[in-house]
Amino acid sequence: MVGAIKQNETSSKVHPLKFALWLIIVSIIMMFAAWTSAYIVRKEEGNWLDFSLPGNLIVNTVIIVISSVFMQLAYGAAKKDELAKLKLYLIGTFVAGLGFLLGQWQAWSDLVDRKIFFGGSDSNPSGSFLYVLTGVHGFHLITGLIFVLIVLISSHQFKVHSRNMLRIELCTTYWHFLGALWVYLFAFLSMNH
């Protein structure tokens, strides 16, 4: 098997780890598909608290898109062996990702200030769903940040360059997915508020 991977001659012409990552992405999609469809079903049943989304979510969306752009630039830099740029862009990705998380935290504080709670006697599923969707996405974003950090560290060890792209390819795919997932969630939430 090791031989097969070294020659990049797998029966699908795709590296197994890339393939596995896509399958993991599919399973994450299924999780959120379950919640967003549950959201719709539950909303239809009534007894649904209507409230406006925290205002800064649109800012967060812009930030995460910017982080994706940085990630893509980092990928391009690695491909062209521009290692200094690569590190810079990866730091950009990481900082923007961190900024997004802080922004989400801010959105939660905003909700709490408006007395829209996750649980307790005053809570309504419409608010709880918002916390679950943003919370679980945030959790996955933290795993993404750890991945970016790993790539950043290995780029300092000269392990990320044009002939060693697997790690950053995987990271780019995952990071773009997390960004796209948030854009989907934001669009979904905006349409339902």
Partner 1 sequence: MASTDISLTHDVHHAHDDHDHDHHDQHFIFKYIFSQDHKVIAKQFLITGIIWAFIGGALSTIFRLQLGWPQATYDWLEPILGKWIEGGKLSPEFFLSLVTMHGTIMVFFVLTAGLSGTFSNFLIPLQIGARDMASGFLNMLSYWFFFLSSVIMFLSLFLETGPASAGWTIYPPLSALPQAIPGSGTGMTMWIVSMAFFIVSSLLGSVNYITTVINLRTKGMSMTKLPLTIWAFFLTAVLGVLSFPVLFSCVLLLLFDRSFGTSFYLSEIYVAGEALSNVGGSPILFQHLFWFLGHPEVYIVILPGFGIVSEIIATNARKPIFGYRAMIGSMLGISLLSFIVWAHHMFVSGMNPFLGSVFMFLTLIIAVPSAVKVFNWLATLWRGNIVFTVPMLFSIGFVSLFISGGLTGIILGNSTLDIQFHNTYFVVAHFHLVMASSAFFGLFAGVYHWYPKMFGRMMDDKLGYIHFWLTFIGVYMVFMPMHYVGIAGFPRRYYSWTSFELFSKFADLNMYISLAAVIAWLAQFIFAFNFFYSMFRGRRATQNPWRSTTLEWTTPVNPGHGNWPGAIPTVYRWPYDYSKPGAADDFIPQHIPYSETASSNLPHEKDLA
The values of phi and psi at residue 98, to 5°, are -60, -40
Interface residue with partner 1 among 106, 128, 173, 192 (CB under 8 A) is 128
15 binds partner 1, rule: CB under 8 A:
yes
Radius of gyration of the chain (CA): 19
State phi, psi for 161 to the nearest 5 degrees.
Answer: -160, -175
Q: How many amino acids of this chain bind partner 1 (CB under 8 A)?
A: 51
**For partner 1, the closer CB: 123 or 173:** 123
Query: What is the closest distance, in whole angstroms, from the C-beta atom of residue 107 to partner 1 in the complex?
Result: 18
Give the position of tokens 């020659």.
7
Sequence-ordered list of residues with C-beta below 8 angstroms from that of 146, at least 6 positions apart, any chain:
none
Reduced to 3 states, what is the DSSP secondary structure of residue 161?
strand
Q: Give 5-42 as a 3 state SS string.
A: HHCCCCCCCCCHHHHHHHHHHHHHHHHHHHHHHHHHHH
Least spacing, CB of residue 98 vs partner 1, in Å? 25
Q: What is the DSSP letter of 193?
A: -
Which residues ranging from 40 to 69 are in contact with partner 1 (CB under 8 A)? 41-42, 45, 47-49
Stretch that binds partner 1, among 59-67, 103-111, 114-122, 141-149 (CB under 8 A): 114-122
The one among 53, 59, 98, 132 contacting partner 1 by CB under 8 A: 132
Residues that bind partner 1 (CB under 8 A): 1-6, 8, 10-12, 14-17, 19-20, 23-24, 26-28, 30-35, 38, 41-42, 45, 47-49, 118-121, 123-125, 128-129, 132, 136, 154, 159, 163-164, 166-167
